[in-house]
Amino acid sequence: MTFYDFDLTEPIQNALKKEGYTHPTPIQQKAIPVVLEGKDLMACAQTGTGKTAAFALPILQLLAGESPKNRRIRVLVLTPTRELAIQIKESFDAYGRFLPLRSAVIFGGVSQSAQVQSLKNGVDILIATPGRLLDLIQQGFISLKDLGIFVLDEADRMLDMGFIHDIKKVIKLLPLKRQSLFFSATMPPHIVQLANTILTHPESVEVTPVSSTADTISQEVLFVAKENKYALLTHTLERWPDKSALIFTRTKHGADKVVKMLTRSGIRSAAIHGNKSQNARQKALADFKNSHNRVLVATDIAARGIDIDELELVINYELPNIPETYVHRIGRTGRAGASGTAVSFCDTEERAYLKDIQKLIARQIPVTAHPFVTGVEMQIAERIEKSTGFSSGKTQHKKSNSGKKFFRGMGAR
pLDDT in tens, 130-148: 999 999 999 999 999 999 9
Nearest to 363 by CA among 173, 170, 217: 217
Are 3-206 and 217-410 equal in CATH topology? Answer: yes
- The Cα 351–Cα 345 span in angstroms is 10
- Rounded to the nearest 10 degrees, how much is the dihedral formed by the CA atoms of 279, 83, 62, 70? -100
Q: Are 115 and 106 in contact (CB under 8 A)?
A: yes
Q: Are 388 and 358 in contact (CB under 8 A)?
A: yes
The arithmetic mean of pLDDT across residues 287-314, rounded, is: 82
Class of domain 3-206: alpha beta
Of the pLDDT bands very low, low, confident and very high (cuts 50, 70, 90), residue 341 is very high
Nearest to 141 by CA among 152, 133, 130, 149: 133
Of the pLDDT bands very low, low, confident and very high (cuts 50, 70, 90), residue 20 is confident
- The Cα 250–Cα 227 span in angstroms is 16
Q: Which residue blocks in 147-251 are alpha helix, DSSP H?
A: 155-160, 164-172, 189-198, 229-239
Does 3.30.450.20 match the CATH number of domain 217-410?
Answer: no
> Which pLDDT value is given to residue 303?
67
Say whether pLDDT at 169 is over 90: yes
Nearest to 93 by CA among 152, 51, 53, 142: 53
Say whether pLDDT at 399 is over 80: no
The arithmetic mean of pLDDT across residues 33-42, rounded, is: 97
Cβ neighbours of residue 326 under 8 Å, at least 6 residues apart? Answer: 316, 319, 320, 344, 357, 360, 361
**R_g of the chain, CA atoms, integer Å:** 22
> Which pLDDT value is given to residue 67?
61
Say whether pLDDT at 269 is over 50: yes
pLDDT tens string 228-261: 999 999 999 999 999 999 999 998 899 999 999 9
pTM of the predicted model as reported, rounded to 2 decimal places = 0.61
Q: Where are the domains of the chain?
A: 3-206, 217-410
Nearest to 374 by CA among 225, 270, 166, 241: 225
Cβ neighbours of residue 306 under 8 Å, at least 6 residues apart? Answer: 272, 285, 298, 332
What is the overall mean pLDDT for the chain? 85
pLDDT tens string 293-303: 999 999 876 66
- The SS3 of residue 15 is helix
Identify the DSSP state of 112: S
